[in-house]
Amino acid sequence: MVESRSTTVTGDRRSAIDAITAVAAHGSESSLLILGERGAGKSNALMSAYTRSAIRPVLVRANPAEAAVPLSGFSAVFSAVGDPQITQAAADLAIGAPDRTALFGAANEFLARLRSLDLLPTVVFIDDVDRMDADSREILGFIAGRVAGTGIRLIASATAAEGVLAGMTSLTLEPLTPLESMELLAAASGPGADEGTLQLIAQEGGGNALALVTALRKISGEQLAGRAPLELPMRPGSAVKAIVAHRLAGRSESELELLRAVALSPVSDWDDLLERSDDDVDALEELFDQGLLERQDRFVSCADPLVRSVLYWGIRHADRRRMHEEMLERVGGDDVVAAWHADAAGHGGAAELARAAEVLFTAGLERPAAEYAERALIAMESGRSDAAAVIRLAQQLLKAGEAALGQRLLYFARMDDLAPAEAIGLLLTSAAAQFVRTGVAPDDDISTAVDLHQHLDPVASAKLLTFAAALHAVRWRTDDAEYNLARASVLMEDAGLKPTSLWTVTTALVDRLQGRTSSLTNPVDATNLVRRPTVELLVLAQFLSLQERYTEARRVISLVLGRNRSVAPLWSDFVNLVGIENDIRAGELHRVLAVDADWPTRATARYGSRRALLRATAASLADGALVADLLDVSHSHATAEHNPEVIARALSLRATLAVLGARFDDALEPLEWLESLVVNYPDPNMLRHRADLVETYAGLDRMNDARGLLAKFEQSVTQHPSRWATLALARARAIVSSDLEAVSAFRAAVREFQPQDSPLEYARTLLAYARRLQSLGVAAEAERTYAAARAAFEAAGAPRWASLVTAASVPATAVRRVQAVVPTLAALTDEEREIVERVRLGHRNGEIAAALFISLRTVELRLTRVYRKLGVKSRAHLVAVLSASQSA
């Protein structure tokens, strides 16, 4: 009995490719059928697995021209394996099985011959097996469940599992997610493509890879760059028509007629649809049940954008115009539905379409809203309205976090007639959207706007400059922030105004970054912050975090997130990132994985440097996969964004992971890079790298460098004291201390910690202590300290980092130093060994003298001789050597 199972992959194609590759690399023979509709990406997934296969791969593509030739596909598959004996066996089967009754008997004989050949393991990839002749499908499906012992693994793709193929273990590729669609389009379009344009195509593609690529190829260069509006729904090609024909197979004529009526516009009116005949109402319910239609409030729309595209463009132009006129009469006062039909009939304009888009977007109907907005741009280009309604829609989109679509609308809007305050207000929203989406502030636009409006409206201009300064400050671009703050200050002084609260808190953050004393020292009063703008609270939260006022920073972040609808969704993701960054600085990593897992999956989710760094941190706390790649992505984005803060944090994470694993050669470069940044950020609490660099130098046996850096560290901590610096400095001092002083130095460093201190820094100190104990040869105490370090990492929310804490991670140089001073005890006299044993047990000299009935002076003299013979310099060193000698 052949057991089969099926799996559905909804989303990440990488997971599908991994699953296919796992089957290909499995230790025993197996088979897999990859299912998906035309254009789902089956061939690409198969090809990706083919190129990654660790076992010898063979690729066979079905030839539809041979579909009428019995067993032609089967012969092609096994001829491709390249073994003459297999080729002959396949030919014998084809000759010996003239009818279907003999087919499966011949297949069993073929399998027996395969098992007798002792073939090298081979993976046969068959693309579009369902397009082969019927006999080949039958026999391949039969063989797929019985490949054990043959050396052959079969992986095939098909649109549907029919006949014997249905018995194969299968993996179904569902439509691409919005994010996957965007990634595919971005890769296919290359640089210079407008993100808003790609987002619209992603919405129209229905998650079908072929439809997405086809749509992308049909638009003009101007449209791709975002300089010309799209015609939506997009015109379908033959491939999309074939896909939709398959999806609509078996639908009744009444159902199709109703679908055409709904497809005429992005949304239809529910009440209007109910006024149709009873047959139409029954068909309507059936279409809802089948998932072809969807309803939200009073609006009904096609759930599948490809179905709508085919049905819409399948109606002749003259018939469409007539139907629009009829629908315009039917819906009457319905402004939303009527706006579309009026425009299509030549009676409407951009303002009506933009207002309708606002209603739809507010109702959560993003795809229909985008279609209305795009039609409004076409109407505006033809001169059928002013741009005011489009600008309002753009603002709504920007505030809601739809930055790409909002900025796309602003490109087409004419803003020359706006008053200075209105123009600057619009630029503020646009700048925020661009910053959140790309990590970059539009400096040129801001500078141009200020130059244009500062004499007409200095207050609004100062507000814009202060906002720009805040965006620079949160990225640690202190020079740019100070420049904008100075310009804003001049404008406010000329207008006789005091600095705004945003100006004050941004100045405080810049001062903190540059190591200057800040005036913001009072505890945060939440009641005074309720009405403050979001960007001001974000700056304040980062300032408090850098001040090590982590609890207050959390309160501010909670206040922002607790505003519900009053906080623009534009900022929500960024606020979460700032909150996680505060937790990481506090040494508490518990929420990193949860926030990463809950990150928005919509197509507009941000993938800037901050987000990539969060993903890298989460990966390091999970299975460790892709950490290096994600750090490279984060660093690359941060470089493009001119974001020194994320560059520093990415370098720090890379170095931290290397130090945890005692890979000091890998840690050296990022840590010395961070050291080069100290000139810009002199406060050691900013970069937080010097304790790790001291440990790295020590781990590489560069003790002079370690001591020299320690002196710099001590000086900087004196000038810029902080709690983290005090704790990290104690760790660094203990690392550099001599063998004679190491144990007491580390104990002092551990005792320095209080319950409210960073649990992660506590774990780092325990780890360094355990490594030093092991290097001294104190095996039992080292293992106890390793256990304490692992527990501390787990308490900090970093259980996987705890798994890196092993005795094996002690640097080889440290072990060699211990081995060089572990002598034999044979050189000691019996009296000396007696004293040494009592020292090992922790007895003091006076206790030893009393127990052995000798004088204290005698004990001291004998210990002096022991020190000389064993080459040790202190009691602690003696205990370490004794423990190492015992463990050897």
Q: Which range has the top average pLDDT, 28-32, 323-327, 475-479, 856-860?
A: 475-479
**525-550 pLDDT, tens digit each:** 767 787 888 899 999 999 999 999 99
Q: How many CB atoms lie within 10 A of CB 333?
A: 6
**251-287 pLDDT, tens digit each:** 888 888 889 989 999 999 888 888 776 667 778 888 8
pLDDT of residue 408: 86
pLDDT interval class at 26 (50, 70, 90): low
pLDDT of residue 503: 96
SS3 488: helix
**419-434 pLDDT, tens digit each:** 888 888 888 888 888 8
Ranges of H-type helices in 752-829: 759-776, 779-795, 799-803, 812-819
Q: Which two tokens stand for residue 153?
A: 């693994």
Position with higher pLDDT, 98 vs 190: 190
Nearest partner of 348 among 322, 378, 318, judged by Cα:
378
pLDDT of residue 594 exceeding 60, the answer is: yes
Q: Which range has the top average pLDDT, 253-262, 386-395, 563-572?
A: 253-262
Q: Locate tokens 């400095």: which residue?
A: 729
Q: What percent of the chain has pLDDT over 90?
A: 40
pLDDT interval class at 520 (50, 70, 90): confident
**150-189 pLDDT, tens digit each:** 888 899 999 888 877 887 888 888 888 888 888 889 889 9
Position with higher pLDDT, 810 vs 480: 480
Those residues whose C-beta lies under 8 Å from the C-beta of residue 825, and which sit 6 or more positions away, are 833, 836, 885
Nearest partner of 352 among 398, 385, 324, judged by Cα:
385
**96-138 pLDDT, tens digit each:** 655 666 777 888 888 888 888 888 888 999 999 999 998 888 8
Sign, CA dihedral 565-571-576-578, equals: negative
pLDDT of residue 817: 43
**85-96 pLDDT, tens digit each:** 888 888 877 776
pLDDT of residue 863: 86
Nearest partner of 200 among 343, 361, 368, judged by Cα:
368
pLDDT of residue 810 exceeding 60, the answer is: no
Provide the CA 24 distance to its chain's centre, in angstroms. Answer: 28
Phi, psi of 170 (to 5 degrees): -125, 155
pLDDT interval class at 351 (50, 70, 90): confident
pLDDT of residue 760 exceeding 70, the answer is: yes
What is the C-alpha separation between 69 and 419, in angstroms, rounded? 75
pLDDT of residue 649: 95
pLDDT of residue 728: 97
pLDDT of residue 842 exceeding 50, the answer is: yes
Those residues whose C-beta lies under 8 Å from the C-beta of residue 99, and which sit 6 or more positions away, are none
Please state the rounded mean pLDDT for residues 307-322: 93
Residue 152 host element (H or E): strand 152-158
pLDDT of residue 854: 80
Q: How many CB atoms lie within 10 A of CB 220?
A: 10
What is the C-alpha separation between 631 and 638, in angstroms, rounded? 10
Phi, psi of 275 (to 5 degrees): -80, -5
pLDDT of residue 55: 86
Those residues whose C-beta lies under 8 Å from the C-beta of residue 375, and which sit 6 or more positions away, are 232, 340, 343, 353
Please state the rounded mean pLDDT for residues 840-863: 80
Q: What percent of the chain has pLDDT over 70?
A: 90
Amino acid at 817: R
Position with higher pLDDT, 396 vs 717: 717
pLDDT of residue 816: 42
Nearest partner of 806 among 792, 780, 787, judged by Cα:
787
Those residues whose C-beta lies under 8 Å from the C-beta of residue 186, and which sit 6 or more positions away, are 193, 198
Amino acid at 92: D
pLDDT of residue 94: 72
pLDDT of residue 222 exceeding 90, the answer is: yes
pLDDT interval class at 820 (50, 70, 90): very low
Residue 809 DSSP symbol: G
pLDDT of residue 823: 47
Please state the rounded mean pLDDT for residues 861-873: 81
pLDDT of residue 459 exceeding 90, the answer is: yes
pLDDT interval class at 475 (50, 70, 90): very high
User: Hey, which residues does 299 pair with through a beta bridge?
Assistant: 269, 296
Tell me which of 217-231, 461-475, 563-577, 672-686 is least confident.
563-577
Nearest partner of 233 among 345, 322, 315, judged by Cα:
315
User: What's the mean pLDDT when you consider all of the chain?
Assistant: 85
pLDDT of residue 345 exceeding 80, the answer is: yes
pLDDT of residue 4: 43
Those residues whose C-beta lies under 8 Å from the C-beta of residue 480, and which sit 6 or more positions away, are 443, 468, 469, 472
- Sequence-ordered strand ranges (E) for 493-569: none
Q: Which two tokens stand for residue 383?
A: 């001169």
pLDDT of residue 219 exceeding 60, the answer is: yes
pLDDT of residue 583: 94
**70-86 pLDDT, tens digit each:** 888 999 999 898 888 88
pLDDT of residue 7 exceeding 60, the answer is: no
Please state the rounded mean pLDDT for residues 574-584: 91
pLDDT of residue 722 exceeding 50, the answer is: yes
